[in-house]
Amino acid sequence: MDTAYFLQQLINGVTLGSVYGLIAIGYTMVYGIIGMINFAHGDIFMVGAFIALISFILFALTSIALPIVLLLTLLIAMVFTACYGWTVEKLAYKPLRKSFRLAPLISALGMSIVLQNYVQAAQGARIKTLQPVIQGGFTFMEDTGFTVSLSYLQIFIILVTIVLMAVFTLLITRTALGRAQRACEQDRTMTALMGINVDRTISITFIIGSSLASVAGMMFVMYYGVIDFYIGFLAGIKAFTAAVLGGIGSIPGAMLGGLLIGLIEVFWSGYISIEYKDIAAFTVLVVVLIFYPTGFLGKPDIEKV
Amino acid sequence: MKKNFLYSSIKDSLFTGLIALALFGPIVGLRTVAKNEVLVVSPKWFIVLVIVIVCALGRFLTNLYIYNRDQKYGIQSTIGKSITNFLDTKGTQIALSAIIFSVIFPFLPFTDRYLMDIAIMMLTYIMLGWGLNIVIGLAGLLDLGYVAFYAVGAYSYALFAIHFGWSFWICLPIAGIFAAMFGVLLGFPVLRLRGDYLAIVTLAFGEMIRILLLNWYQLTKGPDGLTGIPRPSFFGLPFKSFPEEGEQTFHTFFGLEYSPMQRIIFLYYLILVLALITNLFTIKIRKLPIGRAWEALREDEIACKSLGVNPRNTKLTAFAIGAMFGGFAGSFFATRQAFISPESFTFIESAIIVAIVVLGGMGSQTGVVLATVFLIGLIEVFRDFESYRMIAFGGAMVLIMIFRPRGILATRKPTIILHKKEVTK
């Protein structure tokens, strides 16, 4: 019974952690390249979830096979959400590159309020429910009295995350774009002198971050089945915590952090208290920032005059 | 050359239209509505079409008439500069007349219950803005969880007043001290963090306090909130229409007719005095060593350290004092509403207060007043358009950061000038 319960929490935690990890990559990349906390990223995730929801509803009217529906929804969500990420960067962050340090953060805060209320105005304030898209799954350890289930949906979420992570790691480590991105992280002026279009590289970073967030949004709406315009706030903070925990600026760190935050949240609600499950994430954030601000895989941040 | 430019701006505006279609097409155009418990999509293509055309046309016109000109951004700074100049020269007179106006405001002929309520609300926000201005404007610490101290003040006032029956004037300082203690408790570990990390941590703390208030049912009654918080009395004289046997009330003591406006007017003066105290305190402390240390720390922490200023303790005092004023405002809020629940202390409240400070110009006391009148006025006028007004609100924050990053009143006058600079050629 105990092992079974533990195993179940582990499965749920890894699934949730994949979602957080995908959002966290957006935070960590943007922080790495322009050194700002993209506060609106959680709301980009929420927009992605809504686009995926709309796409699922539209495809439900047709008779296209499920795998194609999933693939198409994934692409639709990524493309349209990437437009949001791109526009937000162009409108709210790009003019502030040379401003004082807190300016982009305040601007991002404003953008987050805009996005939330825009979706509320356009889609209504009531929660949206989606019929399960993928059903069924495996069950095992039935004889112990507590059935452990691993649904196809969970397998789908974990697999998609792994595939995306692999593609993404290749992109960063092997391609010219990834090289440009890493160069921008180190020194933007020098990179520009080397003939790399810094503005374009930053735009692409936002596009990649937003499309990964939209995949997370799609998984969220499939996994929980209910969304509203406010989901981005909490998910955003938790994903940011994940990014910090893994070491902000480090992409494998973001994934690791996401996984840990997912596990912590699920185990906390499974073993300690479900009412205070959000407090768990916040506590981790505070403790990590105070005692271990570089995270697991981050580089120490040296302040220079 | 000219033709080429026209061609490129047409291309550019078509691209803008395409992006607008991608942005607004799915979210605005395909509204999901629940029909018989199942979500269906109800298309709204006309609105999308209008938005797309407006975006493309707007882009085209700005391309032609604004970016085409030789000198860019002519408008942005002149308005703010003229306001700043005006306030610089006439600052004291304006401040004085504003204070006189607010003192006689309750007795003006057009003042009614509704206006008084708005005025009280505005003054509460002005007080919160001035309190937060100590933290953000003077010490340069972006605190996104200021509402937590407001909540601590409100709840500690309410709990003491309900359970011990203490009067407003005893509970007010206690609430302030409680809030300041929370400020120290929260600030002590986190204040050595860098600006943006600090912002996120304070946000997390704000949310933690709210979740705690929501779930600690024995103490706070959770989502039901605390009811029956005692109303303030006029130095022991309660505002009641039907006094009990032998009880002196406000209107019997002064021999007046009873009117519910009496209490509202009293509350108005109460918050006016509290707000002015906050303002006076800030103006005075700015000239004391601690105030100078805050401002120096905001400008350059490393230089301060090398000059022997202890950054942690200095920041901590700013945090605690800011929190204390938040606590005062909170206890006023509790006594005015007579009912508080965690609903009133959400993150959006923090965002509004931060927006007031940022919009007004960090560190500018007059700016806070202007920004409050503008923002709260905006919120009141568009009361029926809940989400649209918040869109405008968030948009204003972005625009201010882009065009006037130091706020509407952008100049910072040095608090001290050793000797006037001689005019050199």
In the structure, what pLDDT confidence band is assigned to residue A58 with cuts at 50, 70 and 90? confident
3-state secondary structure A226-247: EECCCHHHHHHHHHHHHHHHHC
Question: End-to-end CA distance of chain A, in Å?
Answer: 58
- Cross-strand pairs, B38: B35
* Alpha helices, H only, A1-65: 2-34, 41-61
- The amino acid sitting at B390 is M
Task: For strands B30-35 and B38-43, give the pairing.
Answer: antiparallel
pTM exceeds 0.80 for this model: yes
Of residues A57, A123, A303, nearest to B40 (C-beta)? A57
Flag if A286 and B388 touch (Cβ within 8 Å): no
Crossing angle, helix B146-164 and helix B195-215, to 10 degrees? 30
A124-152 tens-digit pLDDT: 778 888 888 777 777 776 666 677 788 88
User: What are the residue ranges of CATH 1.10.3470 in chain B?
Assistant: 77-241+255-403
- Which fold would CATH assign to domain A2-291? ABC transporter involved in vitamin B12 uptake, BtuC (1.10.3470)
Supply the pLDDT for residue B74.
47
Window 212-231 of B, Cβ < 8 Å to A: 212, 215
Could you give the CA distance from residue B348 to residue A114 in angstroms, rounded to a whole number? 12
Flag if B193 and A293 touch (Cβ within 8 Å): yes
For an interface test with B, give the residue of A109, A114, A229 to mutate (most B CBs within 10 A).
Answer: A109
In the structure, what pLDDT confidence band is assigned to residue A49 with cuts at 50, 70 and 90? very high
CA nearest neighbour of A239 among A207, A269, A209:
A209
Supply the pLDDT for residue B247.
64
Flag if B395 and A84 touch (Cβ within 8 Å): no
Of residues B27, B208, B211, nearest to A123 (C-beta)? B27
Q: Return the percentage of chain A with pLDDT > 90, whole number.
A: 13
Given a cut of 90, is residue A45 above it in pLDDT? yes
Window 172-211 of A, Cβ < 8 Å to B: none
Q: How many CB atoms lie within 10 A of CB B70?
A: 5
Given a cut of 70, is residue A284 above it in pLDDT? yes
CA nearest neighbour of B3 among A231, B388, B11:
B11
SS3 state of residue B229: coil
Supply the pLDDT for residue A46.
92
SS3 state of residue A216: helix
CA nearest neighbour of B322 among B294, B288, B287:
B294
Window 125-164 of A, Cβ < 8 Å to B: 125-126, 128-131
Which residues in chain A are contacts of B196 at CB distance < 8 A?
A: 36-37, 101-102, 105
Nearest residue of B to residue A48, measured between CA atoms: B27
Which residues in chain A are contacts of B402 at CB distance < 8 A?
A: 92, 95-96, 107
Flag if B398 and A107 touch (Cβ within 8 Å): yes
Supply the pLDDT for residue B324.
92
Which tokens go with B87? 């306030």
Is there a contact between B182 and B326 (Cβ–Cβ < 8 Å)? no
Q: How many CB atoms lie within 10 A of CB B88?
A: 11
3-state secondary structure A128-184: EECCCCCCCEEEECHHHCCCEEEEHHHHHHHHHHHHHHHHHHHHHHHCHHHHHHHHH
Supply the pLDDT for residue B72.
47
Which residues in chain A are contacts of B41 at CB distance < 8 A?
A: 54, 57-58
Could you give the CA distance from residue A218 to residue A74 in angstroms, rounded to a whole number? 7
Could you give the CA distance from residue A8 to residue A139 in angstroms, rounded to a whole number? 10
Sign of the CA dihedral with A221 first, then A110, B14, and B1 last = negative
B100 CB-side CA count, 13 A: 6
CATH of domain B77-241+255-403: 1.10.3470
Selected residue with higher pLDDT from A46 and B169: A46
Of residues B40, B355, B402, nearest to A96 (C-beta)? B402
How big is chain B, counted in residues?
425
Could you give the CA distance from residue A175 to residue B312 in angstroms, rounded to a whole number? 45
Which residues in chain A are contacts of B205 at CB distance < 8 A?
A: 282, 286
What DSSP assignment string belongs to B151-197? HHHHHHHHHHHHHH---HHHHHHHHHHHHHHHHHHHHHHHTTS-HHH
Could you give the CA distance from residue B13 to residue B54 in angstroms, rounded to a whole number? 10
Average pLDDT over residues A238-259: 86
Residue B68 φ then ψ, to 5° = -75, -25
**Below-70 pLDDT ranges, chain B:** 1-3, 66-91, 234-258, 408-425
Of residues A37, A117, A282, nearest to B207 (C-beta)? A282
CA nearest neighbour of B186 among B294, B297, B319:
B319
In the structure, what pLDDT confidence band is assigned to residue A48 with cuts at 50, 70 and 90? very high
- Cross-strand pairs, B340: B226
A69-120 tens-digit pLDDT: 888 989 999 999 999 999 999 888 888 887 777 788 888 888 998 998 888 8
Given a cut of 90, is residue A44 above it in pLDDT? yes
For an interface test with A, give the residue of B387, B389, B393, B399 to mutate (most A CBs within 10 A).
Answer: B387
Crossing angle, helix B261-285 and helix B75-104, to 10 degrees? 130
Flag if B354 and A109 touch (Cβ within 8 Å): yes
- Complex ipTM value: 0.83
Domain range list for chain A: 2-291
Could you give the CA distance from residue A16 to residue A21 in angstroms, rounded to a whole number? 9
In the structure, what pLDDT confidence band is assigned to residue A270 with cuts at 50, 70 and 90? confident
Flag if B39 and A111 touch (Cβ within 8 Å): no
Supply the pLDDT for residue B338.
81
Could you give the CA distance from residue A206 to residue A215 in angstroms, rounded to a whole number? 14
Tell me if chain A has a CB within 8 Å of the CB of B384. Answer: no
For an interface test with A, give the residue of B218, B220, B401, B403 to mutate (most A CBs within 10 A).
Answer: B401
Tell me if chain B has a CB within 8 Å of the CB of A225. Answer: no
